[in-house]
Structure 1
Amino acid sequence: MTEQQNRIPAGAPIWIDHLSGGFARQQEFYEALFGWTFEDQGEEYGHYRMIRAGEATVGGAMDAAQMPPGPDGAPAEGPAVWSVYLRSDDVDETLRLAREHGGSVHMEPRDVGPLGRMAVVVTPGGEYVGFWQPGEFGGHDLPLAPGTSVWFEVMSKDVAADADFYRAVCGWDLVPMGADGQGDDASEGEGDEPAYATNGAGEAATAGLCDAAQWLPEDVPSHWRVYFRTADMAASVRALEEHGGRVVDGPMDSPFGVVATVLDPAGATFQLIQTPEG
């Protein structure tokens, strides 16, 4: 593990990965958009790919065609998605707490060779979230450079239930945030929860929790989303559209920079952000 990876605290995002079909097109899209390289880890790891931006490890990617078939022998299917994994120092204990606090287990704990131990749950708010207990592999690098992830947040349709879950299971300390990016004018969301809160305050914050019940369409469940930094929003939007992606919302100004919600060619959503320093 690098020193930076060792600094990722329990409950904070430690890994992201992408699952989709039509993977050749997806890889071409992300290579054009971010300049990423994809390193196949071989048959032992199901041809899982490590994503690099220069020397930084961004996350992973899996071709749905390489997934084990379902119980009926049919190919694995599902929407293209970016997934977020939170650090756990004991995945089995984390899942015990998850069940105790209203979550359900989507994938039981499993060892990934000597690299670590993982599991996936569905929270009371309805989003999938993964957990990673590091072994030899300590997760992603966070240089906050263009082409790497810089923020992670839950878009929740049940923010009160999710707030209780992340506090109890992940040890989150939720701090209200207002429209100005500070806490002074924080608006109220569901129940006693703020409309937006972060796990930790200021530069120590590791992730966000947003009351998105009024924004998400009925057929869109709660979900995690990932922000990737770009040095040039206009150029990124052009590249995205030229290679089969599309802009869903924005680009628009925010207290943290210019932000756009986008889709890749397979329909996975993510955020682009150009920070004030570029």
Structure 2
Amino acid sequence: MAEVREYSPGTPCWAELATPDLEASRAFYSELFGWAAYTISTDRFGDYEILALGDIQGPMVGGITELADESERPSWTCYFAVDDVDATVEAARSAGGQVYMEGTDMGDTGRTAMLAGPEGAEFSLWQAYEMAGAEAAGVPGTMCWVELACRDTEKALRFYNKIFGWEPVTRIYDHTAYTDWHLRGRPVCGMIHMGDRWPAHYPAHWIPHFAVADCDASAAKATALGAHIQLPPRDTDRGRFAMLTDPGGARLAILTPKE
């Protein structure tokens, strides 16, 4: 397991689940990924649940919150590290993005903001103070990739290049255009074009991928635990992956990475 102490600006650093049922989500992800959950409390923002790998003494791998009301949809939010939240918010606004939450300090841990790209795919920023983000990588149960699914990929390319400096490397895979976004010469995340095979009602969205030792076995286990498999396990050039919605309705993917 690789211990992670810092994240370069423009790289994914955290994932947070918003769920209608905290207890049910804790049980599902404990069984699927071996996560434990514990609560931290702050005077200003109240309680926040941390997801840790293995047990509550293990490395932090994500967070979990309860939906504020029934108008919100269950979802995983991907966070990206930045040096300056407020400057990135302004860059996103000028590039045609939407600002859902301005830069806000989260106590001594860091500063965050919530944005959406041109088609409404939500994501968050993280400027680290005392907490860099997820503390582990490279083992099952950790986030190993994040991906944007959208229809207007040209607009997305311009938007994310302006705010994060990502450079696209696009190819055709399985008859679908797929883009690896590179930062300083290495891939940091991806984008898939939502073509005719996607349901018309599906909105653009970011989706986290979590590493598993055996994609097929994990997909079967997730189904037994109440998840819905949207794309069954299949081989890609990144590894074997499947896409699913958890019992609460949040989208995620599981991936057995290639060596």
- Above 0.5 in TM-score? yes
Task: Compare CA radii of gyration and give the structure with the larger one.
Answer: 1
The corresponding residue for 2:227 is: 245
Q: Distance in 2 between matches of 1:97 and 1:201?
A: 18
Task: Sort the Cα spacing of 1:93 and 1:201 in 2 relative to 1 into closer, same or farther, 3 A.
Answer: closer
The letter for the 2-side match of 1:147 is G
The corresponding residue for 1:160 is: 154
5+ residue gaps, structure 2, are: none
The corresponding residue for 1:79 is: 73
The corresponding residue for 1:70 is: none
Q: Distance in 1 between matches of 2:142 and 2:22?
A: 20
The corresponding residue for 2:17 is: 18
Displacement of 1:109:
1.1
Task: Tell me the alpha carbon deviations over residues 105-126 of structure 1, each in whole angstroms, 9 at most, x when there is no partner.
Answer: 1111111001111001111122
The corresponding residue for 1:46 is: 46
- Answering whether residue 215 of structure 2 is matched by residue 221 of structure 1, we say no
Contact 1:142 1:150 (C-alpha < 8 Å) held by counterparts: no
Displacement of 1:99:
0.9
5+ residue gaps, structure 1, are: 68-74, 181-186, 190-194
**SS at 1:207's partner residue?**
strand
The corresponding residue for 1:59 is: 62
Task: Sort the Cα spacing of 1:88 and 1:27 in 2 relative to 1 into closer, same or farther, 3 A.
Answer: same
- Answering whether residue 86 of structure 2 is matched by residue 95 of structure 1, we say no
Q: Distance in 2 between matches of 1:214 and 1:141?
A: 38
The letter for the 2-side match of 1:5 is R
Which of 204, 208, 231 does residue 213 from structure 2 map onto?
231
Displacement of 1:276:
4.0
**SS at 2:134's partner residue?**
coil
Question: How do 1:128-277 residues align onto structure 2 when only pairs under 5 Å count?
Answer: 128-179=122-173, 195-200=177-182, 204-277=186-259
Which of 106, 113, 120 does residue 107 from structure 2 map onto?
113
Q: Distance in 2 between matches of 1:29 and 1:198?
A: 31
**SS at 1:48's partner residue?**
strand
**SS at 1:47's partner residue?**
strand
Task: Sort the Cα spacing of 1:213 and 1:127 in 2 relative to 1 into closer, same or farther, 3 A.
Answer: farther
The letter for the 1-side match of 2:252 is F
The corresponding residue for 1:9 is: 8
Displacement of 1:203:
8.3
**SS at 1:139's partner residue?**
coil
RMSD: 2.2
Runs of 4 or more consecutive aligned structure 1 residues displaced over 4 Å after TM superposition: none
Contact 2:3 2:135 (C-alpha < 8 Å) held by counterparts: no
The letter for the 2-side match of 1:12 is T
Aligned identity (percent) is: 30
Task: Sort the Cα spacing of 1:213 and 1:5 in 2 relative to 1 into closer, same or farther, 3 A.
Answer: farther
Displacement of 1:200:
1.4
Larger CA deviation: 167-176 vs 195-204 = 195-204
Residues paired across the two proteins, number = 254
Q: Distance in 2 between matches of 1:26 and 1:62?
A: 10
Displacement of 1:141:
2.8
Structure with the higher strand share, 1 or 2: 2
Larger CA deviation: 81-90 vs 212-221 = 212-221
Contact 1:125 1:159 (C-alpha < 8 Å) held by counterparts: no
Displacement of 1:265:
0.4
